[in-house]
Amino acid sequence: MHEVVIRNGSVLTSEGIIEADVSIDDGVVTGLGGEIAEGVVEVDAKTCWVGPGFVDIHTHLREPGYEWKEDIASGSAAAAAGGYTAVVAMPNTEPAIDNGPIARFVAERGSTAGLVDVFPAGTITMGRAGETMAHIDELWDAGVRLFTDDGDAVGNAAVLRLVMEYVAQLGGVISQHAVDPSLSLAGYMHEGAVSSRLGMYGIPSAADHVVIDRDLELVRATGVRYHVQHLSSAGGVERIAAAKAEGLPVTAEVTPHHLMFTEEDVASTDPDFKMMPPLRRSEDREALVHGLTTGTIDVVATDHAPHAALEKEVPFEHAPDGVIGLEWCAAVVNGEVGLDPVTFFDRMSTSPAAIAQIAGHGEPLSVGASADVVVFDPNQTWTPTTSVSKSRNAPYLGRSLTGRVRATIHDGRVTAGGG
């Protein structure tokens, strides 16, 4: 008798997709194929894709400092519900994750919650203030591999270059919130036809482009691995394509909300469509979908950004930026982009794990490998109405989605769905 058996799924293996059962015992995959004995827990995976648990390299867990929005336990539960087995926690907490002890605290809180592996990102600058280098060496020793001042772009090119040199030597990755504040701070949404119609101050796509252009010059100088967060524009996708063609060590992510919505949705002035960078034109959305399909965009990252109702349910201009997305990201990607299962697992699991250097996640299933597994039904349609996050700032609630996580298994234990 096995601890867990996943029956009749289309399983991602190193030989591609095969129809098989999977058995799991003591945290590892113990069998893959046919004729597998009964499990204490049996997961019916008929019509489902079975592969490595999703990895999100852009999650805001809000702890320490903003526990009324989310904490590491509640954010981990949302991640597990969405099929994730590992997340990278953004460092814009209070205090910020700019030193070793705080990074260790976040990772330990993640282990205590025990639902996903939580890998803290570290800041680029002290307190995310953009002025002096964070304790990069301490952060590295605490296991940090991804460095970002997310929430803000690093404005000071000299400081960024210095940190890039350090991180390049260590072998980590710089992950940039590529939005120029001097072009974005006055605005609330994409600068274009809809912002004109609404009489709302806009944020031009150039806000993203000027940061990416500057940073690529610093990447040429330092050789650092460089990742662009939440691409929002066709021009951003073009820049990543050109940088890759040039041979630069560059990767990029897109969020589920930028794959699903556009500036037209902002016309509702529902604050759940307010985020940074903003939702842009339908041509931009199409370029993001195409970029993810072709691989110019390497990964989908949620930018799961919880805000309490009392903060978000205010006039659009006053609302904070960001939406939650961990629980519906896979469904949005499946429904909006329609990837084949091999590409789907690459963008949701394998490539994110590679960018953030997360071992033991993102690999095709094999006997002996750690049992971090998701069972995803790409055909089920459903309408989410609630969330296990502490916050509800989700534009997906009440909307029909195609694709649903049937079970998530982390370290051999069913953490969501199942039975």
Residues with active-site annotation: 303
| Residue nearest to Zn ion as judged by C-beta position | 177
DSSP state of 53: P
User: In the structure encoding, which two tokens stand for residue 178, read together?
Assistant: 């590529």
d(CA 241, CA 34): 43
Which of 72, 231 has the CB closer to Zn ion? 231
d(CA 359, CA 414): 20
By CB under 5 A, which span of 8-16, 101-109, 175-183, 408-416 interacts with Zn ion? 175-183
Which of 255, 296 has the CB closer to Zn ion? 255
Which of 121, 365 has the CB closer to Zn ion? 121
Which of 150, 180 has the CB closer to Zn ion? 150
Total residues at the site for Zn ion (CB under 5 A)? 2
Which of 13, 123 has the CB closer to Zn ion? 123
SS3 387: coil
Map tokens 């460089």 to a residue. Answer: 226
Report, in Å, the least distance between residue 151 CB and Zn ion.
6
Contact letters for Zn ion, residues 130-169 (x by CB under 5 A): --------------------x-------------------
CA 229 to chain centre: 9
By CB under 5 A, which span of 161-169, 173-181, 332-340, 362-370 interacts with Zn ion? 173-181
Which among 212, 214, 90 is positioned nearest to 148, based on CA atoms? 90
Report, in Å, the least distance between residue 305 CB and Zn ion.
8
Report, in Å, the least distance between residue 152 CB and Zn ion.
8
Question: Does residue 63 bind Zn ion (CB under 5 A)?
Answer: no
Question: Does residue 307 bind Zn ion (CB under 5 A)?
Answer: no
**Would you tell me how many other CB atoms lie within 10 Å of the CB of residue 333?**
23
Question: Does residue 60 bind Zn ion (CB under 5 A)?
Answer: no
Report, in Å, the least distance between residue 417 CB and Zn ion.
29
Question: Does residue 363 bind Zn ion (CB under 5 A)?
Answer: no
SS3 50: strand
Report, in Å, the least distance between residue 284 CB and Zn ion.
17
One-letter amino acid at 249 equals P
Which among 53, 46, 131 is positioned nearest to 414, based on CA atoms? 53
Give whole-number Cα distances, 378 to 268, 309, 331, 332, in Å.
Answer: 30, 31, 8, 10
d(CA 38, CA 270): 49
By CB under 5 A, which span of 100-108, 170-178, 185-193, 195-203 interacts with Zn ion? 170-178
**Is the backbone peptide bond immediately before 277 cis, with ω within 30 degrees of 0?**
yes
Question: Does residue 239 bind Zn ion (CB under 5 A)?
Answer: no
Report, in Å, the least distance between residue 385 CB and Zn ion.
28
Q: Which residues contact 294 (CB under 8 A, 6 or more apart)?
A: none
Which of 276, 373 has the CB closer to Zn ion? 276
CA atoms within 13 A on the CB side of 315: 3
Q: Which residues contact 241 (CB under 8 A, 6 or more apart)?
A: 291, 296
SS3 398: coil
Question: Does residue 227 bind Zn ion (CB under 5 A)?
Answer: no
Contact letters for Zn ion, residues 179-218 (x by CB under 5 A): ----------------------------------------
Report, in Å, the least distance between residue 199 CB and Zn ion.
26
User: In the structure encoding, which two tokens stand for residue 263, read together?
Assistant: 């500036």
Question: Does residue 56 bind Zn ion (CB under 5 A)?
Answer: no
Question: Does residue 280 bind Zn ion (CB under 5 A)?
Answer: no
Which of 177, 239 has the CB closer to Zn ion? 177
Question: Does residue 177 bind Zn ion (CB under 5 A)?
Answer: yes
By CB under 5 A, which span of 72-80, 157-165, 171-179, 199-207 interacts with Zn ion? 171-179
Dihedral sign from CA coordinates of 56, 154, 191, 310: positive
d(CA 384, CA 386): 6
Binding site for Zn ion (CB under 5 A): 150, 177
